[in-house]
Amino acid sequence: MDALISQVRQLGVDLARNVADKFDLSPVFEGLTHAAGAKKGRLLDIAEGGQVIINSAHPMAGKLADGKPGRAMVLASAIISLVNRAEKDLTDEHQRELHKHLLDSMVS
């Protein structure tokens, strides 16, 4: 899990540069952490301070942490979508732009 979080942090900080003048997304990825929650709970949640928490007890968490290529991108994409729903300043257009950069990095 720690290796996955490290990869997602780096990826997220790199992606955040694409919308830095519109929304400061870096702290979301820099503060990414994990905690064991309910197995039937959400995979991702946002704490009151804006910190994204991965539920390490969730069945998908183990699959994402298996070290296979592309897992960090999937998690980064899910985090972007989560933040888009929670933060009115991160618009759908920003989300599309971030996902475009993420997909471009996957195929290059």
pLDDT the model gives residue 84: 92
Taking the whole predicted model, whether its pTM rises above 0.85 is answered as yes
**Model confidence pLDDT, tens digit, residues 11-53:** 999 999 888 888 899 999 999 999 998 888 999 999 988 899 9
pLDDT the model gives residue 49: 83
pLDDT over 80 at 85, yes or no = yes
**Token pair belonging to 18:** 């694409």
Place of tokens 């899990």: 1
pLDDT over 80 at 108, yes or no = no
Alpha-carbon dihedral sign for residues 69, 74, 79, 80: positive
CB 49 within 8 A of CB 32: no
DSSP 8-36: HHHHHHHHHGGGTTT---HHHHHT-EEE-
Strands of the sheet containing 52-55, edge to edge, are 33-35, 52-55, 44-46
